[in-house]
Amino acid sequence: MIKFPALTANAIRQDNPDGTMTQKTLAERFDELELEYQEVISTTYTAFSEFSGKNKEYVDSPKYKTWIARAKKLITDSYGKDSDFYTGFVEAESGFYASNHEILTKQLKPAFDAAKADLVYSIPAISNALANINDGLELIINILNKFPAFCRQLKKRHDGRPTIEISDEYDVQDLVHSLLVLHFDDVRAEEASPSYAGSSSRQDFLLKKEKIVIEVKKTRKTLSAGKIGEELIIDMARYCAHPDCDTLVCFVYDPDGWVNNPKGVISDLERGDTEGKTRVVIAQF
């Protein structure tokens, strides 16, 4: 699992100075986990327990573990790992003779509910702590979403003068780099990422202060949605070992529309990161 410090950039997406978007976003994330909790409960089945010597109720183990990981992440983003809410939730995982159904319903869910109930009182403090970091991430997302418009404008040269041709991934990287240095002081290009599965790779950009890694890709006929998704999943796993990566932004420039369902790809990739630290932008004309 990717381990990140508390109160990191994409924990809260704050659009308004008064923090109203912040409160809505965290509340929505708690509501989403409520729905996921019901999905986990729907997998309940009965099996014999060797420890207790009787039948007990259980839930699907992978779904159970995923829900716990996402709940921990949300509580960390909301209150920090030093908070009583986080400590209480972690302690609620224990239960040597209890089934996972018992732990989930009698221990974890009450701890989760307590954290959710107190959210409304904690939003202002969290908003202030995250404002500067979050502004940087949202600025990056805005730049990348508007990248196609930037490219179109480059072609509108006075008197038909020559312009930059964006033919491959390196061209996209050069332009993204130029845009980033307008807004950030320490943009490091082509930083070597740690070894993963016996190999190492090079990330495109590291924003050292913000602890944000930006991975840039450009689609082509031989690199469409399926292949892009596979590569990004590998990238997401790689960066879990990078000490300077709190947030991974995956930028896919798709000017020719090779990705037929960008929203679906984005949703699948972001949900695939149970720590919630990946943001995906697919920019098309």
pLDDT band of 246, cuts 50, 70, 90? confident
What confidence score (pLDDT) does residue 127 get?
56
Tens digits of residue pLDDT in 148-171: 999 999 888 888 888 888 888 899
Would residue 160 count as lying in a domain?
Answer: yes
Q: Which whole number is the average pLDDT over 85-101? A: 90
Q: Which whole number is the average pLDDT over 105-128? A: 82
Same domain, 26 and 155: no
Would residue 186 count as lying in a domain?
Answer: yes
Same domain, 279 and 161: yes
- Which tops the pLDDT comparison, 10 or 91? 91
Q: How many Å apart are CA 155 and CA 163, to the nearest integer?
A: 6
Same domain, 151 and 280: yes
pLDDT exceeds cutoff 90 at 203: no
Segment among 4-8, 111-115, 246-250, 256-260 with least mean pLDDT:
4-8
pTM flag (> 0.85)? no
Residue ending a domain, among 80, 106, 122, is: 122
What confidence score (pLDDT) does residue 23 get?
41
DSSP state of 199: B
Would residue 61 count as lying in a domain?
Answer: yes
Domain that holds residue 23: 9-122
What is the token pair recorded at 129? 């702590």
Residue ending a domain, among 87, 122, 157, is: 122
DSSP state of 194: P
pLDDT exceeds cutoff 90 at 195: no
What confidence score (pLDDT) does residue 115 get?
93
Residues present in the chain in total = 285
pLDDT band of 10, cuts 50, 70, 90? very low
Same domain, 65 and 189: no
What confidence score (pLDDT) does residue 9 get?
34
Alpha-helical runs (H) found in 10-60:
20-41
**% of the chain at pLDDT higher than 70:** 81
Question: CB neighbours of 86 closer than 8 A, spacing ≥ 6?
Answer: 72, 75, 76, 79, 80
pLDDT band of 134, cuts 50, 70, 90? low
Same domain, 164 and 92: no
- Which tops the pLDDT comparison, 197 or 107? 107
Q: Which whole number is the average pLDDT over 178-197? A: 76
Q: How many Å apart are CA 282 and CA 265, to the nearest integer?
A: 9
What confidence score (pLDDT) does residue 67 get?
96
Q: In this structure, which amino acid lies at residue 7?
A: L
Question: CB neighbours of 75 closer than 8 A, spacing ≥ 6?
Answer: 83, 85, 86, 89, 112, 115
pLDDT band of 91, cuts 50, 70, 90? very high
Contact 191, 199 (CB under 8 A): no
Would residue 4 count as lying in a domain?
Answer: no
CA-nearest of 228, 259, 11, 9 to 137 is 9
Q: Which whole number is the average pLDDT over 95-104? A: 89
Question: CB neighbours of 52 closer than 8 A, spacing ≥ 6?
Answer: 97
CATH number of residue 183's parent domain: 3.40.1350
